[in-house]
């Protein structure tokens, strides 16, 4: 999945700077040139990756109606001066999710 997302990003002249795939969600830091909107790039990547996943893992060749791989929405924020903070968050997201989901016995 990671290589697929990198390839799709490069088709829109974008670069995935940092990323982490989890079972339920994806975190990526992506550089997008000003000629593309965030919505264009994210929509393209979600659409094309869903089609590729359906073809590869579900044996579908066409007619994806009624199926969805990705949630409808997504969260976006500009990085600016806090790029290192965002990179660190993405790198350690799995540890943080595990910590939050761990039941507190005491």
User: Would you please indicate which residues are annotated as catalytic (active-site) residues?
Assistant: 89
Give the list of residues 6+ apart from residue 50 with CB closer than 8 angstroms, or none: 64, 67, 68, 69, 70
What is the full DSSP assignment across 79-98? -GGGHHHHHHHHHTHHHHHH
The span from the CA of 104 to the CA of 52, in Å, is 40
Residue 77 DSSP label:
-
Residues forming a β-bridge with 41? none
The helix (run of H) or strand (run of E) holding residue 101 is: helix 93-101
């Amino acid at each position: 999945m990671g290589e697929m997302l990198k390839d799709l990003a490069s088709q829109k002249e974008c670069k995935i700077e940092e990323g982490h795939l989890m079972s339920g969600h994806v975190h990526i830091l992506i550089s997008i040139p000003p000629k593309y909107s965030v919505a264009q790039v994210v929509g393209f990547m979600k659409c094309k990756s869903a089609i590729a996943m359906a073809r590869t893992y579900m044996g579908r060749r066409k007619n994806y109606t009624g199926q969805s791989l990705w949630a409808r929405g997504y969260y976006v924020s500009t990085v600016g001066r806090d790029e290192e903070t965002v990179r660190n968050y993405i790198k350690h997201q799995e540890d943080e999710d595990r910590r939050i989901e761990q039941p507190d016995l005491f």
